[in-house]
Amino acid sequence: MSDEAILIGGSSGVAGSKQYKCAECDVDVWIAPSGQRTLATYLFPMRILCFICGLLSIASNPDPKIQPIQAEQLREIEQHLRRN
Ligand SMILES: [Zn+2]
């Protein structure tokens, strides 16, 4: 379980986001285009979690590895902030 890959969804929609369900608590989450690309190209199964379940998963992992933010994610965040 500790090497399991997770993708944490957001609660509001960056342009082009798709709606998914948290694999733990079934709440609706949104995955931006950069995350959708990660899901499509990652070589191993990846669980989608909401922010709370994602934090709990990270906290329960003795050696979590968190991927640094990517340039595409920064652009999405910047565009989202400019629109709102
Ligand atoms: Zn959840």
Residue 83 main-chain phi, psi, to 5 deg: -80, -20
pLDDT tens-place string over residues 24-58: 999 999 999 999 999 999 888 899 999 999 999 99
Percent of the chain residues past pLDDT 70, beyond the cut: 96
Ligand 1 midpoint to CA 74 (Å): 24
Collect residues with CB below 5 Å from ion ligand 1.
22, 24-25, 50, 53
Give the separation between CA 73 and CA 1, rounded to whole angstroms: 26
pLDDT greater than 70 at residue 16 = yes
What are the extents of the domains in the chain?
Answer: 5-83
Give the separation between CA 5 and CA 26, rounded to whole angstroms: 18
Confidence of residue 1 (pLDDT cuts 50, 70, 90): very low
Give the separation between CA 29 and CA 43, rounded to whole angstroms: 22
Ligand 1 midpoint to CA 12 (Å): 15
Ligand 1 midpoint to CA 59 (Å): 14
CA-wise closest residue to 7 among 40, 43, 44, 50: 50
